Structure 1
Amino acid sequence: MKKLLLFTFLFSAFISCKNNETKIGQEVETEAEKSIAQQIAEAHGLNNFDEVEEIQFTFNVRVEDSLRTSREWTWKPQTDEIRLTEGDISRNYTRTDNIAEDDKDIDQKFINDSYWFLFPFQMVWSDAEISEEKTGIAPISKEEMKYLEVSYKDEGGYTPGDTYVVYYNDDYLLEEWIYKSADGQREMPTTWEDFEDFQGLKISKSHKSPDGSFELFFTDIEVK
């Protein structure tokens, strides 16, 4: 009887251990199945985005010593209510599947500015075609890095056919990228630098050209 009880105990313990191994194995497998784009987005704070009620930021472009563009945005992601302040003029609209003709100009600006602001998330949110992970020399630092090519369809959207080559470090944070226009006439590499954490969102506040003559940067950032 004692031998039977001992055997039953050992068998139960073995089954328990096997179950634990299976669960651990499933967790590892699930983690491994995440795409590189998903890992990049999560490294930048994607998992915290659902808690965001409002984002404020100012999109700025400086060429040489001249500030060419400055647009202030307030965005409520849960309702897609958006306000743009540009100079002395403020406009409001709500993003829907059918943007009113009168709102398309402001929507185009918002898409452009918010893509720069949260591009790592757009890699998951949008319907872009994303390449396999590759390794190559980054355009600005000239260091060897891993990269992905993120391409958009030739139709639909405001800039169809555009491609972005994103270079990232071992922590899956972007360090550089190259923008390539659909017609192949324009190619622009810039940095991803000056990261700061805003309520769990890791935002790159500055993007500079190789010679520093161009800078796209964000100010007045607030995440609620």
Structure 2
Amino acid sequence: MKNISAVLLLLLALIGCNNNQKSLNSPTTDKLLKEKDSTENSDIAQRIANANGFESWKDVSEIAFTFNVDRGDNHFERSWVWNRITGDVSMMSATDSLKYNRSQMDSLIMKTDGAFINDKYWLLAPYQIVWDEGTTISEKEDAVAPISKDTLNQLTIVYGNEGGYTPGDAYDFFYDKDFKIREWNYRKGNSEKPSMSTTWENYENFNGIEIAKTHKDSTGNFKLYFTNISVKKEGDN
């Protein structure tokens, strides 16, 4: 079994992503098998999730996607297939490929699972804000979005200081009147200044699940995007 390289994990740190869902979405390892279908959270968080097809998630059996990052002339990608019913995960990159089950973790698998959780958070952040435990949520009307400077509403989620790989991080979600996220800030350690800000754009519906396929920073030098997305529901061939 090959190990995901430290270089790739460093890349994630450089682009402002965390390396484990406990840091990005607070629960231990989302109980290792499947997320909750709902949680006690703010009404706004639930509306954002629902605007992205959350009510269809309970029927999803498998999701596959390729996580891509372009920074200048450098390109990085890795692909995932996740059976959320069984907990089986497959990963393939230019240098590594492996399969594991999220109910059977060891120190080697945790590194790869951290990368999976990072990529899944970018893909499904509108759901994570209602799945995640140990968080503090606040809301603000008529906030100025960091990139477009448009006036949007803002939901801020701060992760607890206990547990996780990088606890205490914060995210500011800027959403429109339809409760669709348009931009966000990542603030490492809940710092006042954003560590990273990107757009949320190029939304597409995949079997009832709405996904923003593209995220760009204000410089145009950084682009994170998803390709090869497929969503299967129970009963699909």
**Does the TM-score normalized on the shorter chain lie above 0.5?**
yes
C-alpha distance in structure 2 between counterparts of 1:154 and 1:206, whole Å: 30
Partner letter of residue 171 of structure 2?
Y
Verify the 8 A CA contact 1:36 1:133 in the aligned structure 2: no
Partner letter of residue 165 of structure 2?
Y
Q: Looking at both structures, which has the greater relative contact order when contacts are Cα pairs under 8 Å and sequence separation is at least 6?
A: 2
Partner letter of residue 150 of structure 2?
E
Partner letter of residue 60 of structure 1?
N
Distance 1:64 1:79, change over 3 A: same
The one of 162, 165, 181 equivalent to 1:158 is: 165
C-alpha distance in structure 2 between counterparts of 1:213 and 1:89, whole Å: 26
What's the TM-score once normalised by structure 1's chain length?
0.80
Partner of 1:6: none
Which contiguous aligned blocks of 4+ residues in structure 1 show a shift greater than 2 angstroms?
132-135, 183-186
- Out of 45-54 and 185-194, give the one that drifted further: 185-194
Residue 37 of structure 1 aligns to a residue whose secondary structure is: helix
C-alpha distance in structure 1 between counterparts of 2:42 and 2:146, whole Å: 27
Q: How does 1:88-167 map to 2 (within 5 A)?
A: 88-96=95-103, 99-127=105-133, 128-167=135-174
Partner letter of residue 179 of structure 2?
Y
C-alpha distance in structure 1 between counterparts of 2:125 and 2:180, whole Å: 11
Q: CA deviation at 1:164?
A: 0.4
Given the alignment of the two structures, is residue 197 of structure 1 paired with residue 194 of structure 2, yes or no? no
Partner of 2:13: none
Q: CA deviation at 1:186?
A: 5.8
- Superposition CA RMSD, Å: 1.7
Q: CA deviation at 1:212?
A: 1.1
The one of 59, 63, 66 equivalent to 1:51 is: 59
What's the TM-score once normalised by structure 2's chain length?
0.76
Q: CA deviation at 1:64?
A: 1.3
Q: What is the total number of aligned residue pairs between the two structures?
A: 190
Partner of 1:73: 80
Unaligned runs of 5+ in 1: 1-32
Residue 167 of structure 2 aligns to a residue whose secondary structure is: coil
- Out of 153-162 and 176-185, give the one that drifted further: 176-185
Identity value in percent: 42
Unaligned runs of 5+ in 2: 1-40, 233-237
Partner letter of residue 110 of structure 2?
K
Q: Which structure has the larger Rg over C-alpha atoms?
A: 1
